[in-house]
Structure 1
Amino acid sequence: MRYHWVITASAAALLAGCNVQTASGDSNTVSAAEAQNARWSNTTKDQLRKAIDGRAAHGLDGKDFAVSGDGDQAMTEAALAYAGALAQGATDPTKLYDVYTLKRPEVDLKAGLQQALAKNDVAGWLNSLAPQDDHYKRLSQAYVALRKEMAQGKAQTQPVVSDKGEAIKPNSTDPRMPQIARQLVVLDYLDPKAAAGDRYTPQMAAAVKKMQSDYGMEADGVIGAEALAILNQSDDVRARAIAVNMERLRWLDRNPAATRIDVNIAAARLNYFRDGTLANSRRVVVGEPDHETPQLASPMFRLVANPTWTVPRSIQKNEIAGKGAGYLKANNMQWEDGWIVQQPGPKNSLGLVKFDMQNEHAIYLHDTPAKALFGMTQRARSHGCVRVEDALGFAKMLAEQEGVIDEWNKARATGEQTFVKLPREIPVRLLYQTVLFDEAGDPIVRNDPYGWNDRVSEALGFKGPASMRVKTGAADVGP
């Protein structure tokens, strides 16, 4: 997305006494005297040019923020454009995705620039606009390091291991093993001393399994097309993926609720924060690629014990139609007012608890009878809703912490659908992040199950892919 501002006068003519809303939410007032001094100087012009020249630190080197001249208006336009990219993102997620409702930063850029000019510190103002957390900083460091290696001609740009031939199983031999071993060493999965010619040794198999697990694959040790894609993934692709994930962080509100639930759709994992501290983390099952879980913000307002499930028309038409009365009876389903409704019980597709959320897309968290799915590495297998591992345990935790455990226990004991309202809403954010960090703090570009990286990468001005997709398998009938 391009940022457009109509500037009809120089920065010195910006209104005095503005209220400046910074990226961190702090509020400051620009005095009339400061406003009078809000002019571009040689120092602030140099600061702006230097900041734009260093935009690779934010993965923005694919975008052109060139200053079109040396005049105040040209400087102001360039400063506002670059500041907008740092503060809110260089792209608009609502235009890249059909559904995107996560809160974005609200920043008064004109007032911020006015104050920066008055203080002769445009560099400091620009530095304050991007996310300040450690995760963003580590992504920045990794991106800069990769780009530096590429500039020096040290980066991997061409496939190293041939993808021709059968899948390689542990304890077999294959002429590609020396190249595979070399890549495993480069990726820090294998000790250089463990390479053993053409033989696929147990030590190498353990390294491959760790790699598969890190990238969200089934950790079976078999080197097939997907494992080879990881081994051959160029540093250019990795760099673009990191840039995309920095952009996604810039889209987000810098001050999320201290008590909240964050679900990383790409990693299929839920993190529960209580009063600013990570209190719990667990696996989830998210939508399969044809039924993506959307990126949205939605408050959880109640727990539902022993929920019923009204089967959506699409599932009713595409997956249940024609199965007959026997199927409905076996799954405790019945017709009610023209809809198929699954009654409460252990076979209910929502399990024994539903976490109701307020949104127009009918997306919520819930339990499931299909517990085996949580043991799979690839967990993009639902129709869009989010299934929670040990959902009953999670519901009990929330009920205890929110002071409604007695009501919750009574509701469960009824065996019928019963609602327990939470005394306060708990914000839920469904996010999409494909770059995680291993125990050593190194970035791992994970599976991009929906292929969502590429569209952001292209919008950031990069050429070529920024994602790796791993086939996940089909969803079951549940939501």
Structure 2
Amino acid sequence: MRKSVIAGSLLVLTFTLAGCNFLAGETDKAAVATRIEQVHWNEASVRQLRKAVDSRAAHGLDRMQFVVEGQPGSAEGQEALTRSALRYAAALARGATDPAELYDIYTVRRPKPDLLRGLAGALSTGEVGDWIDGLAPKDEGYDTLSRAYLALRKQTDAPTPAIPDRDEPLKPGTADPRIPAIARQLVASDYLDRSAAQGGSYSPAMVQAVQHMQADYGIKPDGIIGSDALEILNLSDADRATTIAVAMERMRWLDRNAPPTRIDVNIAAGRLLYWRDGKIADSRKVVVGEPANETPQLGSPIYRLVANPTWTVPRSIQSKEIAGKGGDYLRRNNMAWKNGWVVQQPGPKNSLGLVKFDMKNEHQIYLHDTPAKQLFQEVQRQRSHGCVRVDDALDFAEMLARDEGVIDEWHRARATGKETFVSLPREIPVRLIYQTVGFGEDGEPVIRSDPYGWNDGVAAALSFPARQTYRLKTSGNDVGP
């Protein structure tokens, strides 16, 4: 009787811990109870668990409390140890936080490991430590972030920022020992070409880069580096460590077995990667949602190409940005009222450009072309109303059509000059993700801007202190989706 009570208690536990689905797909309670009874701890396994938890800094989780409770000598102790192990295992396998709770929209596929089965197997072979170590992402990028975090963690108590602020603002032409550090951060943020990051004086190329950055963040673009500009440029070791810990957490959210053919869009960086059979086949710039109209983090496939698309203007854009502009505006932009909606006809002025990549989601988010080609030259490419504009989208459509065996159908559709749909023989998965840490040519982490401020909530959930920073300025002058 006592044994069944403990099993029932553990059954409830497994469905409620930290909001994680430890028993993915299990519906047979009796079978679950039987599996729970097969979980047995001994002193050696407890030591392995404690060692794994004590090493959590390697995953940027050292600010969170993972207390190992219980002893193997009693049923209650077994239950407590299982609870402790599953909580830490879930943090490594799926993330210590739940993105669905941090964001209004998050539909990117996440890992769903059967942690109870894995724990039982590890306990039976005495390999709990190895099992736990294998739950986090196993790729070079994650390992690089881990090493960088551990190195920065030793220096996070430094009292001064990386680039110190001084009484006098830094003006063009001035020589200053801070110049190399400023140049490095401008290069890392894509404002300055690496070849121009030379010397110890504030050069014209650097001035132009700083002016561009100031304009993006709503600061007077005078090229003078004062406290405001330094706040954008400046990352202390503590700031870097926090950002890297957040980046590792975001990686833990992602499915370990991503489809070998897929499209990944990094919203924060404004960059698209096309993977074909497990290898990167293409990379190009994209324009994504501005801070007031953020592109959500979605997992949503492309199922067809649309040649010469029309654009039915959403009510929100119609009422806020088109209403009251009159018939002349509609005629100039090839728009007309149709059944109570403003519809833009196909053509070079169409806000969707000459191709749309239709995706399956309820949020009306998709990839498309655009006539506003100049936006791809921006460093901060968060400029749209939420959809994703693709640089040289016609070339990208050609690539997908050829790879999917519908190139002839695509050419015929283009030639009609009318809105024409070309279905793909198989859907191409798309992941819209948000990652503010990339990797430089040397393979080391490069920290970029956090245009939506979406790192803050993750950092807080991981128990890092809050930090106020400048945010990207909303442009508000683009009508397209």
Which TM-score band applies after superposition, normalised by the shorter structure? 0.7 to 0.9
Deviation, 1:228, is 1.1
- Separation in 1, partners of 2:298, 2:60: 24
Tell me which amino acid in the other structure corresponds to 1:333: M
- 1:75 aligned residue: 81
Over 3 Å counting, the alpha-carbon distance change for 1:440 and 1:211 in structure 2 is: farther
- Separation in 1, partners of 2:58, 2:101: 25
Gaps of 5+ in 1: 1-5, 15-20, 24-33
- 1:144 aligned residue: 150
Deviation, 1:352, is 0.3
* 2:346 matches 1:370: no
1:434-475 Cα deviation digits (max 9, x unpaired)? 011111222121110100000011111111238763436335
- Separation in 2, partners of 1:323, 1:75: 66
- Separation in 2, partners of 1:123, 1:38: 15
Over 3 Å counting, the alpha-carbon distance change for 1:35 and 1:207 in structure 2 is: farther
Over 3 Å counting, the alpha-carbon distance change for 1:337 and 1:406 in structure 2 is: same
**Counterpart pick for 1:474 among 448, 472, 476:** 476
Tell me which amino acid in the other structure corresponds to 1:341: V
TM-score (norm 2): 0.84
SS at match of 1:236: helix
- 2:41 aligned residue: 40
Over 3 Å counting, the alpha-carbon distance change for 1:10 and 1:356 in structure 2 is: closer
- 2:27 aligned residue: none
SS at match of 1:129: coil
Tell me which amino acid in the other structure corresponds to 2:261: T
Which has the higher mean CA deviation after the structures are superposed, 230-239 or 402-411? Answer: 230-239
- 1:85 aligned residue: 91
- The number of residue pairs the alignment matches comes to 442
Deviation, 1:67, is 1.6
* 2:433 matches 1:434: no
Answer yes or no: is the 8 Å Cα contact 1:352–1:368 preserved in 2.
yes
- Separation in 1, partners of 2:78, 2:211: 52
CA RMSD across the alignment: 3.3
Gaps of 5+ in 2: 1-5, 15-21, 25-34, 72-76, 189-193
- Separation in 2, partners of 1:301, 1:226: 46
- 1:26 aligned residue: none
TM-score (norm 1): 0.84
- 2:114 aligned residue: 108
SS at match of 2:109: coil
Over 3 Å counting, the alpha-carbon distance change for 1:279 and 1:330 in structure 2 is: same
Over 3 Å counting, the alpha-carbon distance change for 1:42 and 1:365 in structure 2 is: same
SS at match of 2:155: helix
Answer yes or no: is the 8 Å Cα contact 2:155–2:238 preserved in 1.
no
* 2:296 matches 1:294: yes
Tell me which amino acid in the other structure corresponds to 1:404: V
Over 3 Å counting, the alpha-carbon distance change for 1:392 and 1:201 in structure 2 is: closer
* 2:130 matches 1:120: no
- Separation in 1, partners of 2:355, 2:227: 39
- Separation in 1, partners of 2:186, 2:309: 47
Tell me which amino acid in the other structure corresponds to 2:149: Y
- 1:62 aligned residue: 63
Deviation, 1:223, is 3.4
* 2:267 matches 1:265: yes
Answer yes or no: is the 8 Å Cα contact 1:305–1:412 preserved in 2.
yes
Over 3 Å counting, the alpha-carbon distance change for 1:394 and 1:188 in structure 2 is: closer
1:18-58 Cα deviation digits (max 9, x unpaired)? xxx999xxxxxxxxxx9998521221111111111110111
Tell me which amino acid in the other structure corresponds to 2:94: Q
Deviation, 1:111, is 1.0
- 1:249 aligned residue: 251
Deviation, 1:135, is 1.1
SS at match of 2:134: helix
- Separation in 2, partners of 1:406, 1:184: 49
Deviation, 1:409, is 0.7
Deviation, 1:134, is 1.1
- Separation in 1, partners of 2:299, 2:62: 30
Deviation, 1:188, is 10
- 1:397 aligned residue: 399
Over 3 Å counting, the alpha-carbon distance change for 1:195 and 1:370 in structure 2 is: closer
Q: Spell out the pairing of 1:24-423 with structure 2 (5 A cutoff).
A: 38-70=39-71, 71-150=77-156, 155=158, 157-158=160-161, 160-162=163-165, 168-171=170-173, 173=174, 177-181=176-180, 196=200, 199-201=201-203, 209=209, 223=225, 227-423=229-425
1:57-93 Cα deviation digits (max 9, x unpaired)? 1111121111233332221111000001001111110
Answer yes or no: is the 8 Å Cα contact 1:62–1:462 preserved in 2.
yes
Answer yes or no: is the 8 Å Cα contact 1:105–1:252 preserved in 2.
yes
- Separation in 1, partners of 2:369, 2:186: 37
Answer yes or no: is the 8 Å Cα contact 2:96–2:249 preserved in 1.
yes
Tell me which amino acid in the other structure corresponds to 2:119: L
Over 3 Å counting, the alpha-carbon distance change for 1:467 and 1:78 in structure 2 is: farther
Answer yes or no: is the 8 Å Cα contact 1:270–1:282 preserved in 2.
yes
Over 3 Å counting, the alpha-carbon distance change for 1:201 and 1:396 in structure 2 is: closer
Identity %: 58
- Separation in 2, partners of 1:188, 1:346: 35
Deviation, 1:149, is 2.6
Answer yes or no: is the 8 Å Cα contact 2:312–2:342 preserved in 1.
yes
Over 3 Å counting, the alpha-carbon distance change for 1:141 and 1:383 in structure 2 is: same
Answer yes or no: is the 8 Å Cα contact 2:211–2:223 preserved in 1.
no
